[in-house]
Structure 1
Amino acid sequence: MQLLQHLPRRSHFQLRNSFGGYQIPPALFSSASPLQDYASTIPNLKIGKDTRVIFQGFTGRQATSNAKQSIEWGTNIVGGVTPGKEGEHLGLPVLPSVRKAMEQLKPDATGIYVAAQYAASAIEEAIEAEVGLIVAVAEHIPLHDILRIHSILQTQSKSRLVGANSPGIISAIGRCRIGFQPLPTFSPGHVGIVAKSGTLSYETVASLTRAGLGQSLCIGMGGDVVAGTNLVDGLKVFEYDDDTEGIILVGEVGGTAEEEAADWIREYKKRTSNPKPIAAVVGGVYAKPGKVMGHAGAWAAPGESTALEKHKALENAGATMVDHPAKFGKVMKDLMARGGRDVNAIQKSAASQKRGYHTARRLHQTSSLQSPSQRRSLHLQSSQASSLLKEHGIATSASAEDSRLLVVTISRTSRSPCVIASPTTSPSGIHERSKKFPFSFVDGPSPSVCQAVTAHLQMDAAPPAARAGVTKLIDTLWTIFKEKEAVSLSTYLAVSPNSDALEVTNPEFSFDDAALRSCGRQKDLHALRDTSIEDPKEVEAEKDGIVYVKLDNSNESANIGTLVNGAGLAMNTVDALATHGGQAANFLDTGGKATSETVKKSFELVLSDPRVKVVFVNIFGGLTLCDMIAEGVILAFKEVGIKVPVVVRLRGTNEELGQKIIAESGLDLFAFDDFEEAAEKVVALARK
């Protein structure tokens, strides 16, 4: 009997058979009153063959293509919603609202297949209709729209959100896909995955499929700043899922989800006599500080740990760490065997399910709802930030002694705005002594929050004018944050040595450019962007939907050019090359759907760095077809004039054809399917 498939028909969650579950174990919840808040919706993640799914934006091109694939694979799609329409599509009902769909179709889950500017409204409509599971795949939903959505989610206990900017959630055992995951990669089995990165999760899935272990449930946390479902939420589901024999966690730089997962793993191992084996990878060990590494959420706020520190936290908690997800298959088999689990039986069970449930025929993959341009933040110069503060009645100084740090930004854990405060501004001091003070997105920072921040800054004994200045600064930063749709507003502050007043220095402000790109908001603010002070190659790349970051500018031994599809995989490629003794000259993410033209442009960017002695093309073909990438590489050779060797590692959709095209090209190309072999070849060529 599976744990989450036998809840009474009319439970607190109003769930039907597909979510199921008997008495939910207390460990699934994080609050004192488990049936009263958002945490109580965690069981809604347990989708399966009986899960009734609708699509919002059902008659659109993307939803139509995705629905056809998912239905053919076995997903129980029962209809969809398109505002203002009613009738049939793909032989299924189309209704004009989610509320009507709930009444007539009784869905358990909905997939949001609308453009970013409409996605928040679609999510809100689904929450109001009390749909149990809401999956948002679109990238570039404005951050403040998502914060508003989370302020709603925290007040209810019916709907669970996955995403946004997520590949979705998929049950290989139950043949239920809500998202745009590459179906040929998946096979039913017994390993659960929860991941920030889409491309790294696909690599993980492929490794498990080749090892014969397959997957039970794969949850895409997504790469945005604030996620509807985080790593710990996924771990809680897998702990009690009888179909899951092993667990894999895929993290990356930014936020604290991995450290929270480490704390959970440590407690899980204490309370469980035979814990399920857990393996993990964390991308971004060599991420450039201060840069958004492809994903909107791939940056660390003041005081947050680096990817390497997250890696160590997970390792110390008992997770087995790998440097590349291609290793997960073998690692998980070894962990299961050492833990006394019958690996042969698990493989036979996975193979049996594969025969019963999975089609080996390749399905044509289409693009996701990702925007053609990658997300980034607008960073104002200090003088511009000072002018913005002045408009709100706060003057800034050139410098100050004995300064403290005060930031208004996002708490990813509480899914709300927060103040970060540190009584010191030394880098080590900020890391050790900074503290987050979350507050309501609706109500703003309360007097008690301001008092707690003042005390943590060790200014509760400061002169009254200075204490009042701290409160005014918090309120002002919050006003700017909300009115201008900021991501992070950072300042230093100190008590003036010549008076009792508060001095404010070194403002650094960043704002969400998705508000402009998706919805056309904040045009005046974003007109302040000065591209002349930015790296011209990064600006050039952005125009083509590519994220390019030059690494280690002064290091001549950083001589490996990288060209990768997907932010998580791009970060991990840089990290993995380092473990093989090489150093990457750049981070380059072609975007979720690379094309022949973006590959050509990517080569131009990579080769603009004179240090590059070899180029490593590392593509996992999920949505991207490997044969198309191979043709793009050959096109680049002909039109760009490549003079250095190129190592191409292609896995995924049409990988055999792509490798054949490379091998038969007659060019200075080296084709591999195994990452380890490819990385060793790249490093050897870089050392010549």
Structure 2
Amino acid sequence: MLSHRVAPRLSRKNISRARKSPLHLASFSTSSSRLSYSDTINNLKIGAHTRVIFQGFTGKQATANAIESIAWGTNIVGGVTPGRDGMHPVLETLPVFPTVKAAMRELKPDATGIYVAAHQAAAAIEEAIEAEIPLIVAVAEHIPVHDMLKIHSMLKSQSKSRLVGANTPGIISALGRCRIGFQPLPCFAPGHVGIVAKSGTLSYEAVASLTRAGLGQSLCIGMGGDVVAGTDFVDALTVFEHDRDTHGILVIGEVGGRAEEEAAAWIADYRRRTANPKPIVALVGGKLAKPGRVMGHAGAWRGLTESSAEAKYQILHAAGAVMVNHPAQFGAVMKVELERGLDALAAKVSEEKFRSEFDNVARATGTQRRGASASQLRAYHTSHRPRPASVPGNHGHRRSLHLPSAPAADLLLKHGFALTRDPPPVQVPHILSVTIDRSTRAPCLLVSDTRGNEDIPQTLSRNDKRIPFDFREGPSETDIAETLAFLRITHPHAAASARRLISALHQLFLTYEGIALDVKIAAPHEPAADADALLAWDPQFTFDDAAYRLCKRHGALHALRDVSPAALHPVELAGEADGIVYVKLGPTDRADPAYASYNIGTLVNGAGLAMNTVDALALPPHAGHAANFLDTGGKATAETVKKSFALLLADERVKVIFVNIFGGLTLGDMIARGILLAFRELGLEDRGIPVVVRIRGTNEAEGQRIVAESGLKVFAFDGFDEAAAKCAELARG
């Protein structure tokens, strides 16, 4: 028998007698008043009352996660494994059902965690939606994008189920001891700061910073890093606004999409309509992301008309969010912001009443009043926060399969549309695209003029038009007419040609699971001939690589991928086989004066943390330059770490290696063993390249011990700033 606490023993006879508290009923009502998916937001309010099941329950990962989560306090009541019917072979008190509907009927769960492989995850989510489970948490990475578009089409047609994810660490209530995901539990402490984040590793850093500051967390929601997310920033902010247990809010964004701008609009409106708004502190990763590249997360690329990470930072700041440049700063800054709120309260009430109010709030937040005056706190709040120089935007994002003009033109021709033979001398062409609108979680027609490569919020320039359409139905006649009207195409032959082009692009988008299919177009006011009524040229097509890599769909198309050194750096290609995302940064020309200064090799787990590590190294006082972005992936092994070292050593510029790990699924002790393996097999000591190591999160103590007792010349640090300072010092030395 297990020594830790498990759910109360249930017999199959009385298993349907679900226990529900009044809080449960209030949070998860599914009354007929609900009319849309947006009405499921309250399903995010998990806690001690939440009855949880797992799909893929008897799998190795799900079993290990369930044991850990139950010991922490999560009320896991059973699970689902197709073809199984009985009790869990390890968690002997918990039942296993063959279908989600059977588990829903007998256990009445409030939430399900999807613990199945990515190629099976969409079907598991669909089964949970059909069973009307209130909260569905999908942690899998690399689910094909079109599979998720189908899921979102289903979600929008119902009002029972809410999705968190995919590609998320999950959702966790530190106050209610309810964890649905794989967050590192030792970092969490009950408190009153809510967190919503695209990046798992950045959210772990934020959690640890809050815990060290004595604040703790109320609810932490992983938005996830995919192209389309089941729950976004505005959804989470809406929950936090009305949650009495949440007194402060953290927002953690990154390059890609428009969620941060939508959050900024919500924050500005919230601060206008609220007398005493809760403090909101934010971070945006990816300021130095390489233009045109996917930075680890499937959604971490800057699409057509989207703002850069630096622009998002400025937009959030202008809306009233307090901005930080590294998640380790969250704890100190939020503590100051909460105290400022208490100072504002003091100005409105008598001293005697203030003492009473302060004592109540301080007990709830864990805040200890220091001797700082209000003016001192404001000085801290408004202190200069240096930011790295921004990188110009690039509208041509590159995933693993990007087809340039020639092969893209051949595909279009096969689908009945011939492009203009020679690029015309048009001053201001438009780009017509069939792509994905992340905000509406649906495909869309996008029209944008090609002006605006400058680093400004493109959504404010009013040069673009997005027209979402139903994934199952395709663009309607109204959608197409709206597109033509925006383009001011009135010539009948030009309109007919544009319709054929839209139809061909849509068919390619569906057939080959497209991400963004772009074509430059122009419609002369007085065409010389009917054949010239619509000019179309320079197609650039991007397709989802996960559909091929995981599900082996569209093999012939993916065989067209250009892996030549001109298209993809050989080191970047070498990392793919081991699930390592490597992007070389800095100038490529050795004659460039800045070439050698990009000399800090970075090895990080998690796309968000990897982006932020590159950003934060460049800030004063460090002023260092990362030679690369390297994400080991969420399931790295010691061998993966060794191969990551080999990739870094292949860059002649690297003078110091920075290992920055905050573990969730990635284990600290495994990273440490990988470092030892690299030292032994790659001869790191003989090469004379110093290694700076920072290991936090899951199994951090064991990882730190292994490094400390290794006898190797490794510089080990607990804090990021100290580690970054050492890297910069060694790189200059």
TM, length-normalised to structure 2: 0.84
Match of 1:419 among 419, 440, 445: 445
Q: C-alpha deviations, 1:407-431, integer Å up to 9, x for none?
A: 1111011000011102345535976
SS of 2:633's partner is coil
Q: C-alpha deviations, 1:28-71, integer Å up to 9, x for none?
A: xxxxx983100000000000101111111111222111111111
Shift of 1:494: 1.8
Residues 122-271 of structure 1 mapped to structure 2, 5 A cutoff: 122-271=124-273
Match of 1:494 among 519, 522, 527: 522
Q: Is the 8 A contact 1:190 1:346 kept in 2?
A: no
User: Given the superposition, is the C-alpha separation of residues 346 and 59 from structure 1 closer, same or farther in structure 2, using an over 3 Å criterion?
Assistant: farther
Q: C-alpha deviations, 1:94-135, integer Å up to 9, x for none?
A: 112111111111111111111112111111111111110011
Aligned to 2:409: 386
Aligned to 2:505: 477
Residue 618 of structure 2 corresponds to residue 575 of structure 1 = no
Residues 255-334 of structure 1 mapped to structure 2, 5 A cutoff: 255-334=257-336
SS of 2:550's partner is helix
SS of 1:420's partner is strand
Q: Is the 8 A contact 2:28 2:134 kept in 1?
A: no
Aligned to 2:582: 548
Match of 2:556 among 524, 546, 551: 524
AA at the equivalent of 2:599: N
User: Given the superposition, is the C-alpha separation of residues 144 and 343 from structure 1 closer, same or farther in structure 2, using an over 3 Å criterion?
Assistant: farther
AA at the equivalent of 1:486: G
Aligned to 1:460: 489
SS of 2:515's partner is strand
User: Given the superposition, is the C-alpha separation of residues 523 and 346 from structure 1 closer, same or farther in structure 2, using an over 3 Å criterion?
Assistant: farther
AA at the equivalent of 1:53: V
Q: Is the 8 A contact 1:565 1:593 kept in 2?
A: no
Q: C-alpha deviations, 1:568-624, integer Å up to 9, x for none?
A: 000000010111311111100011133221111111111211112221111112222
Aligned to 1:512: 544
Match of 2:701 among 634, 656, 659: 656
User: Given the superposition, is the C-alpha separation of residues 513 and 524 from structure 1 closer, same or farther in structure 2, using an over 3 Å criterion?
Assistant: same
Tell me the distance in 2 between the aligned counterparts of 1:313 and 1:523.
42
Shift of 1:344: 7.8
Shift of 1:455: 2.2
SS of 1:519's partner is coil
Shift of 1:22: 7.9
AA at the equivalent of 2:434: V
Aligned to 2:569: 535
AA at the equivalent of 2:730: L
Which structure 2 residue ranges, 5 or more long, are not aligned? Answer: 1-19, 344-356, 368-397, 589-593
Q: Is the 8 A contact 2:401 2:561 kept in 1?
A: yes
Q: Percent identity?
A: 62
Shift of 1:664: 4.3
SS of 2:71's partner is helix
Query: CA RMSD of the aligned region, Å?
Result: 2.2
CA radius of gyration, larger in: 2
Q: Is the 8 A contact 2:164 2:231 kept in 1?
A: yes
User: Given the superposition, is the C-alpha separation of residues 628 and 423 from structure 1 closer, same or farther in structure 2, using an over 3 Å criterion?
Assistant: closer
Tell me the distance in 2 between the aligned counterparts of 1:633 and 1:263.
44
Q: Is the 8 A contact 1:17 1:51 kept in 2?
A: no
Q: C-alpha deviations, 1:666-685, integer Å up to 9, x for none?
A: 43321111111111111122
Q: Is the 8 A contact 2:149 2:471 kept in 1?
A: yes
User: Given the superposition, is the C-alpha separation of residues 596 and 22 from structure 1 closer, same or farther in structure 2, using an over 3 Å criterion?
Assistant: closer
Q: Is the 8 A contact 1:191 1:213 kept in 2?
A: yes
Shift of 1:637: 2.1
Tell me the distance in 2 between the aligned counterparts of 1:416 and 1:505.
26
Shift of 1:528: 1.6
Which structure 1 residue ranges, 5 or more long, are not aligned? Answer: 1-14, 25-32, 353-374
Q: Is the 8 A contact 2:434 2:445 kept in 1?
A: yes
User: Given the superposition, is the C-alpha separation of residues 479 and 421 from structure 1 closer, same or farther in structure 2, using an over 3 Å criterion?
Assistant: same
Comparing 57-66 with 15-24, greater Cα deviation is found at: 15-24
Tell me the distance in 2 between the aligned counterparts of 1:347 and 1:569.
32
Aligned to 1:5: none
Match of 1:395 among 407, 413, 418: 418
AA at the equivalent of 1:577: L
TM, length-normalised to structure 1: 0.90
Residue 631 of structure 2 corresponds to residue 629 of structure 1 = no
Q: C-alpha deviations, 1:558-577, integer Å up to 9, x for none?
A: 22111101000000000101
SS of 2:540's partner is strand
Q: Is the 8 A contact 1:16 1:108 kept in 2?
A: no
AA at the equivalent of 1:634: L
Q: C-alpha deviations, 1:118-153, integer Å up to 9, x for none?
A: 111111111111110011111111111100011111
